[in-house]
Amino acid sequence: MLTRIAGGRVIDPANGRDGVGDIWISGGRIVEPPQGARAEATYDAAGKIVLAGAIDIHSHIAGWNVNTARLLLPEYHAVAEPRPSVTAASRIGLNSHATGCLYAAMGFTTVVEPAMSPHQALQTHLELADIPIIDKGALVILGNDDYLLGLLHAKEGEAAVADYVAWNLDASRSLGIKVVNAGGAAAFKENVRSFSFDDVVPSYGLSSRSILKSLQRAVNGLGVPHPLHVHCNNLGLAGNAETALTTISAAEGLPLHLAHLQFYGYGKEGERGFSSAAAPVAEAVNATPSVTIDVGQVMFGQTVTISSDVLRQFNARNQARPRKWVIFDGDSNGAGIVPYDYRRNDFYNAVQWAVGLELFLLISDPWRVFLTTDHPNGAHFATYPEIFALLMSRDLRAQWLAELPPAAVAVTTLPSIAREYSLVEIATMTRAAPAKLLGLADRGHLGAGAVGDVAVYENDPDRAKMFRAAALVFKDGELVVRDGEVVSYRWGRALTVRPDRDRAIDRRMRAYYEDRYGLSDELFRVPEHALSRPEPFELVPCAR
Ligand SMILES: [Zn+2]
């Protein structure tokens, strides 16, 4: 079917386009305007904003951790009749069906689950496959696993590490590699309770830095498009901007992505020993072109923190609101589920909110800073429209600041920042840049050959309203959302990479699982036939 989206303002930063025009779609892909052909379906976009489908690079939407949060907090489920009906938590939606619908309604068409345990990959993919409409990808977590740490301890060399990384990407059908508090979870198993970048995992004699650098080189050497995705040490601690700065300087010219940097933007100034250090962190990011970051913005309200940083979650468990939590010190990374309520009148929470916005506004290149709330850790992803509005209006930020504790505002630079994001910058940050960061050449733009993922918005001065409910959303050329309501369901795919490897690693892994655990490695691989969807996976090419 030949579809025409007619006469909207097309903003397509990847192709340098910003002007009124048409978008044509045929066979699920964007095509050049056909000469003399008549569209079979025409959608009037006059006066509206036309963007590619948005891409979220870091949102916890499936897998063991998310499921444990669901099971811990039945009251959080967005069901037709919430139970109990009036808790603050009942506003939070963690169910798979709602995830696909809410993302689609906002014009998001691709979402990356950033924390898949290698041994829970099948469960994660079963859940991802159950999320309607959007395409997905997953990052698999390495860096606290016995096999890798054993390789590094034995000084087996870069080729051995690269083969192991490639084997994991293939076995778990992942789009990239994440490292969470490198070595910290392994040290936690030996009763270490604080772990920094140059601290050493006792039994393996490896520093966090050495683990991170090994993985970074392996990912880069394999030609995996997405750089090593790093959750740094010391998440959430006063003074941890030092950790962020040290990690940024360790990039050493190679690509490195730092996740939810807001949680590492803290100084120790002021009466309470807690302040924003977003300005020096942003300055370091600006000065380090090989580093990209996502923010992990905090928004006020009830949520639940879900993290494979078992050491930090263990230390934070007593701050649970409501008072219940799960700490799982098993597998390689383990995990922690700690519900949390970010309060507008809480000094620390107010500083956290400001730090996120400072990072957005002080990092100058919209190709290197990405919108995330680290869903659901900083806030539910459904708060994105409010964040767009805050980034686009200094006046709106001033209104929010006026309601925060003045002592908190005083230890941030947010009131002094005049910058307002343009629609072009929003489109870059949420479309063009994430596609480039993930190596998705046919996404995030509206040029011929791109997938037919298009979001059309009313050009409403109320930017939150505009981005909350897209006027039209097309997925692979099919209309799936009209006026913020899902009008058609479809099943997306999971994006994966499969870099080349020396197949000797396959035999080694089989022997490792059999010798160490008496299990077949097949139990941890994700077979295509396990997913009851047609063509459940899409292979993204690696650079070599
Ligand atoms: Zn995360």
Per-domain boundaries in the chain: 51-486
Residue 311's CB is within 10 A of a number of other CB atoms, namely 30
pLDDT, tens digit, 9 for 90 and up, residues 165-182: 999 999 999 999 999 999
- Residue 91: pLDDT over 60: no
Secondary structure in 3-state letters for 397-457: HHHHHHCCCHHHHCCCCHHHCCCCCCHHHHHHHHHHHHHHHHCCCCCCCCCCCCECCEEEE
Ion ligand 1 neighbours, Cβ < 5 Å: 374
pLDDT, tens digit, 9 for 90 and up, residues 249-272: 999 999 999 999 999 999 999 999
- Whether the CB-CB separation of 225 and 540 falls below 8 Å is answered with yes
- Residue 82: pLDDT over 50: no
- Whether the CB-CB separation of 254 and 220 falls below 8 Å is answered with yes
pLDDT of residue 56: 98
pLDDT of residue 94: 78
Give the percent of the chain with pLDDT over 90. 90
DSSP lists the bridge partners of residue 303 as 340
Dist. CA 307 → ligand 1 center (Å): 6
Dist. CA 115 → ligand 1 center (Å): 7
pLDDT, tens digit, 9 for 90 and up, residues 308-343: 999 999 999 999 998 999 999 877 899 999 999 999
Q: How far apart are CA 279 and CA 291, in angstroms?
A: 16
pLDDT, tens digit, 9 for 90 and up, residues 181-233: 999 999 999 999 999 999 999 999 999 999 999 999 999 999 999 999 999 99
- Residue 76: pLDDT over 90: no
Secondary structure in 3-state letters for 156-200: CCHHHHHHHHHHHHHHHCCCEEEEECCCHHHHHCCCCCCCCCCCE
- Residue 89: pLDDT over 70: no
Band of residue 81 on the pLDDT scale cut at 50, 70, 90: low
- Residue 239: pLDDT over 50: yes
Dist. CA 4 → ligand 1 center (Å): 38
Block residue for tokens 């959750």: 231
Residue 97's CB is within 10 A of a number of other CB atoms, namely 15
Q: Is 321 helix (H, G, I), strand (E, B) or coil?
A: coil
Mean pLDDT of the chain: 95
DSSP 32: P
Dist. CA 60 → ligand 1 center (Å): 6
DSSP lists the bridge partners of residue 24 as 4, 31
Q: What is the mean pLDDT of residues 507-521?
A: 95
* Residue at 357: amino acid letter: L
- Residue 466: pLDDT over 80: yes
Dist. CA 59 → ligand 1 center (Å): 6
DSSP lists the bridge partners of residue 336 as 307, 327
pLDDT, tens digit, 9 for 90 and up, residues 123-152: 999 999 999 999 999 999 999 999 999 999
Q: How far apart are CA 263 and CA 348, in angstroms?
A: 12
CATH 3.10.350.10 for the 51-486 domain, yes or no: no
Exposure string for 244-274, b = 16+ CB within 10 A, e = fewer: bbbbbebbeebbbbbbbbbbbbbbeebeeeb
Dist. CA 372 → ligand 1 center (Å): 9
Dist. CA 126 → ligand 1 center (Å): 20
pLDDT of residue 67: 86
Band of residue 85 on the pLDDT scale cut at 50, 70, 90: very low
pLDDT of residue 77: 61
Q: What is the mean pLDDT of residues 447-464?
A: 98
- Whether the CB-CB separation of 188 and 314 falls below 8 Å is answered with yes
Dist. CA 543 → ligand 1 center (Å): 26
